Chains A and B, each alone.
Chain A
Amino acid sequence: MAPTEPPVADESTSVHEHPYLPDYAGGCISNVVPALLEWDEAPDWLPRPAVGAEQVVLLVLDGLGWEQLQDHAHLVPTLASLAGGPVTSVVPTTTATALTSITTGLPPGEHGVVGYRMAVEGEVLNVLRWSTDSGDARVRFPPERLQDVSPFAGQRPPIVTKAEFATSGFSGAHLHQVRFHGYRLPSTMLVHLRRLLQANEPFVYAYYDGLDKVGHEYGFGDCYESELVTLDRLVADIIDMLPTGAALVITADHGQVETGGNVTTPHSQVLAETSMQSGEGRFRWFHARPGRSHALLEALTTHHGHQGWIRTRDEAISQGWYGSKVSDMARARMGDVLLAPWGTMAFLEPADTGPFQLVGRHGSVTSAEMLVPLIGTRG
């Protein structure tokens, strides 16, 4: 799966020589919805309880990586008991890109939401906030035009997600043409799910963002563990309400790593060749000043070659990082050279920062971020 990589100078990181790339043709989050809604034959990576189910609830637990699930299995007896295994996320391993792959059933190269922050018409659009430097971008970049593929094969299933996401630009991009059921609290999420199942909906998509939030803010400490325990109870409650013949399938958009304070500013020689940065701390895109892309690549290789994978736009595309097809639009939204760290570190850019310093992060192509569960059970 992984292409041959040049040798890494720093021996302590030699285990990370190979990026963990998505399995776009097989067990990948971009194939889950097509397998559930469209394919005649169930692939072998689809959890058995989902096969032939009369109703399916697909629950996406933001930030639940397969490796973190294994590390904390003792805290989550319900999740640990479900049938299935790991599948891959997409590149980059970030919410904006991965959720769009889940709902549209397409790799990033085809749906074009290629990052958390991506270049659109000379500006950097923060996809999750749907804003640029000049503020709210919902009018300037209409979300359903920036990503115009109908999610869920155009079947307009009911969506159970947080009510405040109803007017979010990112919802407009990855959840247009759906029936929106907003919940304020996890307890009322259960009520929405129960009603939809009782109304015999064949497919319901549900989304929960708590674990990712806690991981970002606190890392893998006691807050993360407490959230996992709470989450496991929520999953148990959903399973309890499943009618006979209904299945619960759980997956995630990406995993996480704890970077803590291990945040580095790119070298000044790199910044000297850079006109703007997009992506995020663990998937940093550098946009070269005019005519300086070769100098930029050289500076990156010299100063950060020991810290992560460095790829030009063309290299990453030809090595299949974003899927076998990459549209011109998707290509135009990428930076000239990317830097994805293999260790537990991040590359700082002031424009990225949110309301708090992130402790847990994701975006790169390590197994901790790339592998997510695809597990399920029957009612």
Chain B
Amino acid sequence: MMRIGSMIKQLLDEVRTTDLDEASRDRLRDIYDLSVAELSGALSEDLRDELHRLATPFRDDTLPSDSELRVAKAQLVGWLEGLFHGIQATLFAQQVAARQQLEQMRSAELPAGDRPIPPSERPGTYL
């Protein structure tokens, strides 16, 4: 998923900076459709449905314009970035929860004062 995301981003930059001939636009349309299909395979069901609702496929009979391609790819990049942020936040919350659980287990096992908290995290206690 990360690889496809980075590929689309690279392509978007390319579309932004250059005028594309017909062959390139045809190729880009195929890449776009293929990317969406590939991404769908890596996603959970609810995310796949969301992606399909948002990323409407290009029509096969006419070639999309430069601007159409830009808009479609920008939309996909934006959606993917949102997805990555969501994943990062979830991972962070899971880490915090796991650490708290670990600390609770340690404090339940050991008497106060013997808890093996790393020195960098162990503040002095006022009395």
Q: Are A135 and B121 in contact (CB under 8 A)?
A: no
Contacts between the two chains (Cβ within 8 Å), count = 47
Tell me the minimal C-beta distance from B99 to chain A in angstroms: 9
Q: Chain B residues near A129: list those with CB within 8 A.
A: 125
Query: How many angstroms between the C-alpha atoms of A168 and B112 in the bound complex?
Result: 17
A95 to B124, CA, bound (A): 14
Closest chain B residue to A182 by CB distance?
A: B124
Given contacts A167-B121, A354-B112, A355-B112, contact A136 B103 (CB under 8 A): yes
**Chain B residues within 8 Å of A99, by CB:** 126
B124 to chain A, nearest CB (A): 3
Chain B's closest residue to A170 (CB) is B126
A213 at interface, CB cutoff 8 A? yes
**Is the Cβ of A166 less than 8 Å from the Cβ of B127?**
no
Q: How far is the CB of A184 from chain B (nearest CB, A)?
A: 11
The listed residue (B107, B122, B126) touching A209 by CB distance below 8 A is B126
What is the CB-to-nearest-CB distance from A141 to chain B, in angstroms, rounded to a whole number?
Answer: 14
Q: If the complex has contacts A354-B112, A355-B112, A355-B113, are A96 and B126 also in contact, measured as CB distance less than 8 A?
A: yes
Contact, CB under 8 Å: A95 / B123:
no
B67 contacts partner chain A, Cβ-Cβ < 8 Å? no
The contact string, 1 if C-beta is below 8 Å from chain A, for chain B 99-127, is 01001100100001100000001111111
Inter-subunit contact B123/A167 (CB<8 Å): yes
Given A139-B96, A167-B121, A128:B126 Cβ within 8 A: yes
Q: Say whether B123 contacts A212, CB under 8 Å.
A: no
Those 4 A-B pairs whose CB atoms lie nearest each other, nearest first: A164-B124, A168-B123, A167-B123, A128-B126
Q: Give 16 A-B pairs besides A164-B123, A354-B127 with Cβ atoms closer than 8 angstroms.
A: A62-B127, A95-B126, A99-B126, A128-B126, A135-B103, A135-B107, A136-B103, A139-B96, A164-B122, A164-B124, A165-B123, A167-B121, A168-B125, A169-B123, A170-B126, A216-B127
